[in-house]
């Protein structure tokens, strides 16, 4: 709306104040031939997009109107994205009807509108990040950022930099100032995924930030205040990690204010039909495929499978089936673990090949063990090394020695 300020009956400021409740997103540009600082301040406080002094140059007016329309377009886009986020992470999209998962949903609903720290525990692939996002987008912080960091995916030397930021020149390669994840999440929510992998040396600083809501960037001296709700997630038993001396007890209690254990899919098999329908609908829309349901034979096979990769693995299986299915009914699914297990059994039967020495056979077995560990831990080398009982540097050396290509590994 383009309006003069001085008009008979109702001036422009009164018009703006009258329209604002019913048209909150309408950009309003006010014009006047009697400009003053006081009038300009009143106009901007009342919500005017801009304030122009007469006489008005046509080019200036066009620029102002273009900016106003651009702002209107951006506001509409933000609202659209916000609606999509609400649709994806709303409670209605938390799928399941078994008692185990209904209890999880009850706890999520109970804690969402509070500011309490939450600890989500459960095996990899059970949907802990989805639950963390649902908590955030149903909390008073939903209009502020949701920031997630996978602590296991970071080299040990970069964990503090990623969490707390660093100043230019703090270390080799720090060519500019970097705001850490705590600063990026200011006012919103920070998900510390795989928090059990945070090194002990970093746990001390993390504890201090949780206690004081203040941090210092690596290489910096300024104290920065942050207002962040922390949600932590882990597939480890943190109490056992505390007893083993790998996780600080005081940090554990700081994070474990409101505990939500997330069950593996094998403990909620009766939810599989609901999850299958949900994933088919989502993937059919995403890939523009006709798939609508699975055949009874396929559903029976899905119900009998142990799902070591949990809900994430089920979604990947359904996505592949949707893409390959030519019709509305999915009649085939590939369950990678069973197929790969059969192939591994066949390969092990012929372990001693013609012309092989014992060193050849041992190298082949070592290669298989490392690939399987990487597959189980979805490529996270720190966790794969722990699973194998070796150091991360030792694992990296063996990967290079055996010529293992990480990019070629199919994860569960």
Burial (CB count within 10 angstroms: exposed 0-12, middle 13-18, buried 19+), residue 329: middle
Q: Residue 17: its pLDDT value, please?
A: 86
pLDDT tops 60 at residue 345? no
Banded pLDDT at 52 (limits 50, 70, 90): confident
Could you tell me the two tokens for 377? 């831990």
Whole-angstrom Cα distance, residue 208 to residue 206? 5
pTM equals 0.67
Whole-angstrom Cα distance, residue 174 to residue 116? 34
Question: Which structural domains are found in the chain, ordered by start?
Answer: 2-87 (3.40.50.2300), 91-263 (3.40.50.300), 266-334 (1.10.8.60), 352-408 (1.10.10.60)
The DSSP H or E segment spanning 311 is helix 310-324
233 closest CA partner among 123, 146, 307: 123
Q: Collapse the DSSP code of 3 into the 3-class scheme (helix H, G, I; strand E, B; otherwise coil) and give the result.
A: strand
When comparing pLDDT for 402 and 144, which is higher? 144
Out of 156-160, 199-203, 353-357, pick the least confident: 353-357
Banded pLDDT at 341 (limits 50, 70, 90): very low
Q: In this predicted model, what pLDDT tens digit does every residue of 58-106 receive, in sequence order?
A: 888 898 889 888 888 877 776 666 655 555 555 556 889 999 999 999 9
Whole-angstrom Cα distance, residue 217 to residue 212? 15
Tally of CB atoms within 10 A around 406: 10
- Contact call for residues 334 and 320 (beta carbons, < 8 A): yes
Whole-angstrom Cα distance, residue 235 to residue 58? 63
- Contact call for residues 3 and 12 (beta carbons, < 8 A): yes
pLDDT tops 60 at residue 407? yes
- Contact call for residues 214 and 225 (beta carbons, < 8 A): yes
Q: Residue 188: its pLDDT value, please?
A: 96
Percentage, residues of the chain above pLDDT 90: 49
- Tell me if the bond preceding 268 is cis, omega within 30° of 0: no
Q: How many CA atoms lie within 13 A of 83 on its CB side?
A: 6
Q: Residue 398: its pLDDT value, please?
A: 87
**Residues 54-81: b if buried by 16+ CB within 10 A, e if exposed:** eeeeeeeeeebeeebeeeeeeeeeeeee
Average predicted confidence (pLDDT) for the chain: 86
Q: In this predicted model, what pLDDT tens digit does every residue of 346-366 receive, in sequence order?
A: 445 455 555 667 777 788 788
Q: In this predicted model, what pLDDT tens digit does every residue of 377-404 receive, in sequence order?
A: 888 888 888 888 888 888 888 888 888 8
Banded pLDDT at 44 (limits 50, 70, 90): confident
- Contact call for residues 156 and 199 (beta carbons, < 8 A): yes
């Amino acid at each position: 709306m383009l309006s003069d300020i001085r008009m008979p009956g109702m001036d422009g400021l009164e018009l703006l104040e009258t329209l604002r409740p019913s048209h909150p997103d309408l950009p309003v540009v006010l014009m006047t031939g009697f400009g003053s600082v006081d009038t300009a301040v009143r106009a901007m406080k009342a919500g005017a997009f801009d304030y122009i002094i007469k006489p008005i140059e046509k080019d200036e007016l066009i620029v102002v109107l273009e900016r106003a329309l651009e702002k209107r377009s951006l506001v509409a886009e933000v609202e659209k994205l916000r609606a999509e986020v609400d649709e994806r992470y709303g409670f209605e999209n938390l799928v399941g009807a078994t008692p185990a998962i209904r209890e999880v949903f009850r706890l999520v609903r109970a804690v969402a509108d509070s500011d309490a720290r939450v600890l989500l525990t459960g095996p990899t692939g059970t949907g802990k990040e989805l639950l963390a996002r649902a908590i955030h987008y149903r909390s008073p912080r939903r209009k502020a950022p949701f920031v997630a960091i996978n602590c296991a995916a970071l080299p040990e030397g970069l964990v503090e930099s990623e969490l707390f930021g660093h100043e230019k020149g703090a270390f080799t390669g720090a060519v500019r100032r970097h705001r850490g994840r705590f600063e990026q999440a200011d006012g919103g929510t920070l998900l510390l995924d795989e928090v059990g992998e945070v090194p002990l040396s970093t746990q001390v600083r993390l504890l201090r930030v949780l206690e004081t809501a203040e941090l210092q960037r690596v290489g910096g001296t300024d104290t920065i205040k942050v207002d962040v709700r922390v949600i932590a997630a882990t597939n480890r038993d943190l109490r056992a990690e505390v007893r083993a001396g790998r996780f600080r007890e005081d940090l554990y209690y700081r994070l474990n204010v409101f505990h939500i254990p997330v069950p593996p899919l094998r403990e909620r098999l009766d939810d599989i039909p609901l999850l299958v329908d949900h994933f088919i609908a989502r993937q059919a829309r995403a890939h523009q495929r006709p798939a609508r349901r699975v055949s009874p034979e396929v559903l029976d096979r899905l119900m009998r499978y142990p799902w070591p990769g949990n809900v994430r693995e089920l979604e990947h299986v359904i996505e592949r089936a949707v893409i390959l299915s030519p019709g509305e009914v999915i009649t085939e699914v590939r369950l990678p673990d069973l197929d790969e297990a059969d192939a591994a059994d066949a390969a092990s039967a012929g372990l001693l090949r013609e012309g092989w020495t014992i060193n050849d056979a041992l190298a082949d077995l070592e290669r298989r063990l490392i690939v399987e560990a990487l597959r189980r831990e979805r490529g996270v080398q720190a966790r794969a090394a722990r699973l194998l009982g070796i150091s991360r540097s030792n694992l990296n050396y063996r990967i290079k020695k055996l010529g293992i290509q990480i990019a070629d590994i199919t994860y569960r």
